[in-house]
Structure 1
């Protein structure tokens, strides 16, 4: 099957959707599918390449870090030309769009125009939901998707509550390429950097981008109390380079979090460092506990799978889809959001009871292997592709990319 993927960003830009695509696209290619990706540009330049068997086209016309709504409207014709070039060059049997139920009505309008012209079915994966006016505006496309994948039962409930048709939505949890992930845990340079800063202290790792939404301020506040009880501990924050940052809000929040670290006198006990997709497995390996105290309704959390794959105990917040992954008291702990005291309590418990921490980590690894492998996710996804494709061809025939289209 010829599968076209659409998303605003792709590694080296880092984020949950980007990591998902980075794993899924070459895995589909290895299984005999032809995969094309249309995504945002790096440094504003249009680029084409064949990457791990995947046709990859980067264009500034999908780079939402640099496109304002007014500029998108101004460039509508150019966006349509770019998308048309991609579709007529790659000729997909099916288009799989990621988070295109938000961000840009113009891009989604154009996608639906080409869906009608060429006759390809379009699947949406909803990696997130929102509560603002733009999300409500994008509801006008809710019946245009041929199928919708929700990354968690939480996301499905939210989508249905917003007005999306329940019968079109299936839940397919993310998966992780276990062997490939393990192969990247050996990195002497990352180990050196971390151990030069932390020494032989126990390491608490927060692998999310630094932001208030991800609870970076909460973990810093909790860490102050952890240090009082367990002084031989160190906090590792993953930093923020090459992450999607609409409106430059993130830089303001980073400054706020750094100011908090300075105010609490924790500079010598915290390392902030960006880890690339290739480097971050080694950072997990050096850690003893992984913490993910999101303050917003986290839709899923691939970072949780990464921690589980290395048998690390987790402390997460009771928001969004995370309680579907981490079983409280069995594979980690689940605490209320924006509660530094509750977070500190669980971190201190794990540090003071290493045998319990090891038990939780072992159970987390077992759950990961049973429920969240890349193989299980790909099986569910490709079965869904074939279901939607067969239904579409029965109703409309196969896609046609003749000069006249349809």
Structure 2
């Protein structure tokens, strides 16, 4: 190449990022799928990827925002979830030829379009699929590239192209070097999340408990949680967002994550660790993947072991908690993994087209 020849700048990969529409992207408070979608979108844009975020029209992104759904259906009863989800997905698929990759973060409905378009679809499977959903995922597993979000959250009945854990923007989570003598429960108020168990464990340990999160099961809240709220030993602050959320995550001596289901990931666990707050979690789902037992917290099997772990929490180095998140769960690491996967899929598509004698 002579000095006069222009230097060719690589053309960015064009990605259609398909978000759910239950909440805004990113959510104001609760909305783990929307939050993960937002973090990935912003990190990909920072890497030079051309991302169009298809989300509710009140969403916010540094990429290009597109969509047809005015507001999340959880915020507006006039938004019929089924009707608007179909419009939302169709809006993306009708424009499929404008993109190199469609990244589906919105569950199983988009899979039905995969054989109708030429654009590869990457689907992040945000949780172990139930027996009701598995028939759909099994049917399209050779047409769509599935990504698991933890090593334990991989169905033996499905083919996955990669395991890519979620990441967070660690720099937005301030380090809490001086915690108060208080435990934290952070998440939706629901039996699956073990709010009542956290209350019993905290009381047995003699340490105050702060609860933050949306009430997802009102009867459970009224019967198992509210009777214990006295503002001293147990207090409930509702769904926290913004600076209040960060302060809560960073000021606790430990996060109690005593779940009663196979949780696929657990963003609040990683966020607490990023703030330096160790985690005490039941050995369910991805918890043993995320929490390094004895190093960034304790992974236990019983409530009694959780109580004992609270007494040992001073052994955990809070700087080690943050360092582990920086190494394993940063947004940039997640974006780099997905960027690499996109490139691999496009190379595979090009090779298939070359073998068939078709220009792609």
TM-score (norm 2): 0.81
Q: 2:40 aligns to what? A: 24
Any idea what the Cα deviations from partners look like across 1:110-133, whole Å, max 9, x if unmatched?
x325xx33x111111112013332
Q: CA deviation at 1:281?
A: 1.6
Q: Secondary structure at the match of 2:153?
A: helix
Looking at structure 1, the residues matched to 88 and 38 of structure 2 have their Cα atoms a distance apart, in angstroms, of 24
**What does residue 223 of structure 2 align with?**
259
Q: Assess, with a 3 A threshold, how the Cα gap between structure 1 residues 387 and 61 changes in structure 2: closer, same or farther.
A: farther
Alignment of 1:355-370 (within 5 A): 356-357=315-316, 359=317, 361-370=318-327
Name 2:190's counterpart in structure 1: 211
> For the structure 1 residues 214 and 257, does the alpha-carbon distance in structure 2 shift closer, same or farther, using more than 3 Å as the test?
same
**In the alignment, is the contact (CA less than 8 A) between 2:291 and 2:297 conserved in 1?**
yes
Q: How far apart, in 1, do the equivalents of 2:44 and 2:338 lie? A: 10
Q: Does 1:290 align with 2:284?
A: no
1:51 aligned residue: 61
Q: Describe the superposition over 1:314-356 as per-residue Cα deviations: whole angstroms up to 9, x where unpaired.
A: 10111111101111122210012xx433322222443xxx3x1
Q: Which residue of 300, 325, 346 corresponds with 2:309?
A: 346
User: Does the 8 A contact of 2:251 with 2:277 survive in 1?
Assistant: no
Counterpart residue number, 1:234: 208
Q: Classify 1:279/1:390 alpha carbon distance in 2 versus 1 (closer, same or farther; 3 Å).
A: farther
1:181 to 173, 186, 193: 173
**C-alpha RMSD of matched pairs (Å):** 3.1
Residue 332 (str. 1) matches residue 297 (str. 2):
yes
Match of 1:148 in 2: 146
Contact kept in structure 2, 1:48 and 1:57, CA below 8 Å: no
In 2, are the aligned partners of 1:49 and 1:56 still within 8 Å (CA)? no
Question: For residues 308 and 182 of structure 1, what CA distance do their matches in structure 2 show?
Answer: 11
1:76, CA displacement in angstroms? 8.9
State which of 86, 103, 109 in structure 2 corresponds to 1:96.
103
Q: Which residue of 1 aligns with 2:27?
A: 12
1:266 CA drift (Å): 4.3
Question: 2: distance between equivalents of 1:380 and 1:141?
Answer: 23
Pairing partner for 2:328 from 362, 371, 385: 371
What is the correspondence of 1:360-399 to structure 2 with a 5 Å cutoff?
Answer: 361-396=318-353
Determine the C-alpha separation between the residues in 1 that align with 2:350 and 2:73: 32
Give the drift of 1:50.
6.6
> Greater relative contact order: 1 or 2 (C-alpha under 8 angstroms, separation 6 or more)?
1
CA change 1:264–1:55 in 2 (3 A) is closer
**How far, CA to CA, are the matches of 1:203 and 1:317 in structure 2?**
19
TM-score by length of 1: 0.72
Between the two proteins, the alignment pairs up a number of residues equal to 334
Deviations 1:274-302 (A, max 9, x none): 11256422221222211211211111222
Quick one: structure 1 residues 266 and 379, their matched pair in 2 at CA, closer, same or farther if it must change by over 3 Å?
same
Distance 1:205 1:154, change over 3 A: same
Contact 2:195/2:225, CA 8 A, preserved across alignment: no
* Conservation of the 8 A alpha-carbon contact between 1:26 and 1:54: no
Write the distance in 1 (CA, Å) between the matches of 2:324 and 2:197.
Answer: 27
Equivalent in 286, 290, 299 of residue 264 of structure 2: 299
Q: Matches of 2:81 and 2:31 in 1, distance apart?
A: 24
1:205-241 superposed Cα distances (whole Å, 9 cap, x missing partner): 11212111111121122122123xxxxx321212217
Partners of 1:370 and 1:78 in 2: CA distance: 39
Using the alignment, how far apart are the partners of 1:367 and 1:75 within structure 2? 40
1:312 equivalenced with 2:277 (yes/no): yes
CA distance change for structure 1 residues 383 and 175 in 2, over 3 Å: closer, same or farther?
Answer: same
